[in-house]
Amino acid sequence: MRNAAKKRTTAKPAASSRKRPKSRKVRGKGARTAVRSGTKQSAAIDMLRSTGGATITALTKATGWQPHSVRGFLAGVVRKRLKLHLQSAVVEGVRIYRITGGHGAAPVDTKPDGRKP
């Protein structure tokens, strides 16, 4: 006769071993974060602040990041976290990104003429 099949139980980890999500610091609405100098991020931002702007290819060569990482940096860090105004234009078939507005750039959630989207 066969042995009876054992019941499978799913063991749940003890409450003390569960990781709690890290708390996020709440910043004021107008607060800006600083970028340390001498980092890949600061190099990329300097390239974007130049008058000619920068392409995805130029940013990948300067930072060593993959193209999808550069695009994520532009959307997540430059636009959302640093709240810099990033312009994009196609010049001679090549897309060029440029930060406009200097150090006190307008937040992303406003249009250039000051209206809300």
Query: What is the pLDDT at residue 106?
Result: 38
In 3D, which of 63, 64, 88 has the Cα closest to residue 75? 88
| Mean pLDDT, contiguous 10-residue spans, the chain (117 residues) | 66 64 59 74 94 95 96 95 94 95 47 54
Domain limits for position 44: 36-100
Query: What is the pLDDT at residue 36?
Result: 79
Task: Determine, yes or no, domain membership for 9.
Answer: no
Q: What are the φ and ψ backbone dihedral angles of 106, each rounded to 5 degrees?
A: -70, 145
In the chain the beta strands, taken as DSSP E runs, fall at: 85-91, 94-100
Query: What is the pLDDT at residue 29?
Result: 57
What predicted TM-score, i.e. pTM, was given to this entire model? Answer: 0.59
d(CA 72, CA 100): 19
Task: Determine, yes or no, domain membership for 22.
Answer: no
Please give the tally of structural domains in the chain.
Answer: 1
